[in-house]
Structure 1
Amino acid sequence: MGAVNVIARTPEGRLVGHNTDYLGFRNSLKTFFPHRGEEMRALVLGAGGAAKAVEVALQELGIAHWNVTRNPLGPGLTYDDLTPQIIAAHPLIVNATPVGTFPDTDECPRLPYEALTEQHYLYDLVYNPTETLFMAKGKEAGAQVKNGFEMLCLQAEAAWDIWNRK
């Protein structure tokens, strides 16, 4: 997936990279977002390593997505491209950027928050603070929200399993 967050040494001494963010996000999302049945769409805010892990998990779960970034990246969207219609067509929005992380808690991704409804699910990979401004604005619109603490715990457990394989 092009992103590594865990390195393990094989018995032969070779280093192998793994991505446990993917596992943590995928397993956490399964309990949060009701993606079964109809075709679901998501917006992934960001294009870094965490966004790559989110993309792979979404692909595995059959959820179509667009990346949203500050600058054009080819087949993605920019924040300037986001319209109420695009927001309405994407019930899952994942913040895979550090925007809103402590100590910059008064910041949030630039979205048309007025287009959010009770049909939206906002997942913020940030877990400090517990509720980001992104999440607070989503809750205000009636959206379901979740922070990244469960993802953090699940990816840490996966990393522990990798490091302790016999």
Structure 2
Amino acid sequence: MTRYGLIGFPLTHSFSQRYFTDKFAREGIPDTRYDLFDMPDISALPTLFDLSGLRGLNVTIPHKQAVLPYIHRLDPSAEKIGAVNVIKLESDGSRTGYNSDYYGFRQSLTDWLTTLNRVPATLQALVLGTGGASKAVTVALTDLGISYKFVSRTKTDGTLTYAELDTVIADYHLLINASPVGTFPRSDEAPALPYPLLTAQHLLYDLVYNPAETKGMKLARERGASVHNGLRMLELQAEKAWEIWQK
């Protein structure tokens, strides 16, 4: 039995398990399963590596950086981001870390901008949130030539606060919610954007995928902005992980 899985905590629900289980059934991939490994403490990871048949792992919150000491080498994207969400167990017993979040976000954003006839390098972005998800986002934006500012509830050097957005929102047309605000079951929440100031020139990319339309997306759409959720990013990063594991 060939095995893959997801480590993180808490794993209350998992897009990855459902996606890969459906993929194995749909594509007739035999004797293969995808499991959830709830892991409150990363120190349990070495024991998991000894699991018979294990060939690869996805990594989610809060372990994307904590896994780094357990990795023998890093793919360039993971090295730039400083976080790993895919681990490949090599045939020689070593472990390589990758970041497919970078690929999923960059490809999905590029595809979306193409459909809207928007040129990446002409955009400025506001990245809402400074947590782990923002790392892959900002590296992808830099590689696409899109300048950005972080937005946080707390004022620090190099970040804007939500209270300051009224004065700059007209210049920043790409808005990226890299925070968990609006995720089920707290679907009645939305990032504190100045929604009345949004226009048809604004684009809101919400990394949240559950619900499919977040409250923030709904408020932005009502002002004429184009909106996009995180589902396509997840699908692309999952397929990238599968590609990595099969190399």
CA distance in 1, matches of 2:132, 2:209: 17
3-state DSSP of counterpart to 1:126: coil
Distance 1:163 1:74, change over 3 A: same
CA distance in 1, matches of 2:208, 2:121: 28
Say if 2:224 is the partner of 1:142.
yes
CA distance in 2, matches of 1:56, 1:37: 14
Say if 2:150 is the partner of 1:67.
yes
Q: Structure 1 regions of 5+ residues with no counterpart?
A: none
CA distance in 1, matches of 2:153, 2:171: 20
Partner of 1:15: 95
Q: CA RMSD in A?
A: 1.4
1:130 pairs with one of 212, 223, 233: 212
2:168 pairs with one of 86, 104, 113: 86
Shift of 1:11: 2.7
Q: List per-residue Cα deviations over 1:34-55 (Å, max 9, x = no partner).
A: 4427631000111122111110
Shift of 1:74: 2.1
Contact preservation (8 Å) 1:4, 1:49? no
* Bigger mean CA deviation after superposition, 67-76 or 109-118: 67-76
CA distance in 2, matches of 1:128, 1:76: 27
2:105 pairs with one of 5, 17, 25: 25
Say if 2:122 is the partner of 1:39.
yes
Say if 2:187 is the partner of 1:105.
yes
Code of the aligned partner of 1:25 = F
CA distance in 2, matches of 1:4, 1:37: 26
So what's the TM-score if we normalise by structure 2? 0.64
Distance 1:134 1:20, change over 3 A: same
CA distance in 2, matches of 1:100, 1:123: 13
Say if 2:134 is the partner of 1:54.
no
Partner of 2:52: none
Q: Structure 2 regions of 5+ residues with no counterpart?
A: 1-80
Code of the aligned partner of 1:138 = A
3-state DSSP of counterpart to 1:82: helix
Contact preservation (8 Å) 1:42, 1:65? yes
Code of the aligned partner of 1:111 = L
CA distance in 2, matches of 1:148, 1:53: 13
Shift of 1:32: 1.4
Distance 1:59 1:37, change over 3 A: closer
CA distance in 1, matches of 2:104, 2:212: 17
CA distance in 2, matches of 1:128, 1:37: 26
3-state DSSP of counterpart to 2:87: strand
CA distance in 2, matches of 1:17, 1:48: 19
Q: Give the number of the structure whose alpha-carbon radius of gyration is greater.
A: 2
Distance 1:35 1:4, change over 3 A: farther
Q: Once superposed, which parts of structure 1, at least 4 consecutive aligned residues long, lie more than 3 Å away?
A: none
> How many pairs were matched up?
164
* Bigger mean CA deviation after superposition, 122-131 or 11-20: 11-20
Partner of 1:153: 235
